[in-house]
Amino acid sequence: VIVTADAPDPDPDPDPDPESVGLPVGIRACLFDLDGVLTDTASVHSAAWTEMFDAFLSGPGCPDGANCQPFTESDYERYVDGKPRLDGTRTFLQSRQIELPDGQPDDTSGTATVHGLSNAKNNLVLQKIKKDGVETFPGSVAYARAVGAAGLHRAVVSSSANTRNVLAVTGITDLFEIVVDGITAREQHLAGKPAPDTFLAAAKQLGVPPAEAAVFEDALSGVAAGRAGRFGRVIGVERHRSDAGRAELRSHGADVVVRDLSELLGPAETPGR
């Protein structure tokens, strides 16, 4: 775009076409969660939380009289998925009536404090990512490209402090105008999901009111944040869960639930039709 001194300011998003990407008229921005929506890392986080909590629950740190049964998939979905790391640790421990001191941010991995357990979980995630790499979902990358071509704004909104790293190694950084991640949230004192604050901060930075932005989320905490922020559309993503899981995403705030974002682009064109 060439802008001369005499020309009026160019329209930031001339004629956005949300319907071409399966979104209602009036939507001008898409706010994407990272883990489980853009990248296939939700399973990495789930495995890391399970390994960390099971080591704690089966060890001497689990207090007498507390529920020290192993961590379950349901625990992951209800108490941990999508939340900032420290909130995830605290919320799960509360669910088992286990009280631990917060400790210090640099507590050694595995120390029986909220920080120590959270650090152990993060180390496991980094190890797993280093060992196995990170994959994007092709349907999500295609969708993000289509959203850009349709003239809508694009942001990543994730609780993860590893967001920029993961975007860089997967080569999709350039698809997004802005990133609001765990580091931004800490610096700007934004409450984590299920509070809507990180999504609201992204919309504000893009200059788009919440009613004109769509939220894409795979976590119960994330769709709840979309609902709490009164966003124009909340798209739940569920890839492996049961019908009950789909229903749960809806009951927490998803307007629609898809298996893959490519579904929103409509049926693939068939030759001869």
Distance in Å, CB of 239 to Mg ion, minimum: 11
Identify whether 255 is a catalytic site residue. Answer: no
Q: Residue numbers of the site for Mg ion (CB under 5 A)? A: 33, 35-36, 82, 218-219
B/e letters for 166-193, b = 16+ CB within 10 Å, e = fewer, are: bbeebebeebbebbbbbebbeeeebebb
Q: Provide φ and ψ at 9, rounded to 5°.
A: -55, 135
Cβ nearer to Mg ion, comparing 166 with 219: 219
Say which of 11, 13, 33, 87 is annotated catalytic.
Answer: 33
Nearer to Mg ion, 114 or 219 (CB): 219
Closer Cβ to Mg ion, 93 or 237, answer by number: 237
Q: Contact at 8 Å (CB) between 262 and 142?
A: yes
Dist CA 164 CA 167 (whole Å): 5
Kindly state the smallest distance separating residue 193's Cβ from Mg ion, in Å.
9
Residue placing its CB nearer to Mg ion in the complex, 49 or 56: 49
- Count the residues in the chain: 273
35 counts as catalytic: yes
* Nearest to Mg ion of 19, 73 (CB atom): 73
Q: How far is the CB of 105 from Mg ion (least distance, A)?
A: 24
Contacts of 93 (CB under 8 A, 6+ apart): 99, 100, 114
Closest contact distance (angstroms) between CB of 237 and Mg ion is 8
| Smallest distance from Mg ion to CB 200, Å | 18
Rounded distance between C-alpha atoms, residue 34 and residue 50, angstroms: 20
Q: From the candidates 17, 35, 174, 197, which is the catalytic residue?
A: 35
DSSP string for residues in 122-182: HHHHHHHHHHH---B-HHHHHHHHHHHHTT-EEEEE-S-TTHHHHHHHHT-GGG-SEEE-H
Q: Which residues 6+ apart lie within 8 Å of 43 measured at CB?
A: none
The residues annotated with a catalytic role in the active site are 33, 35
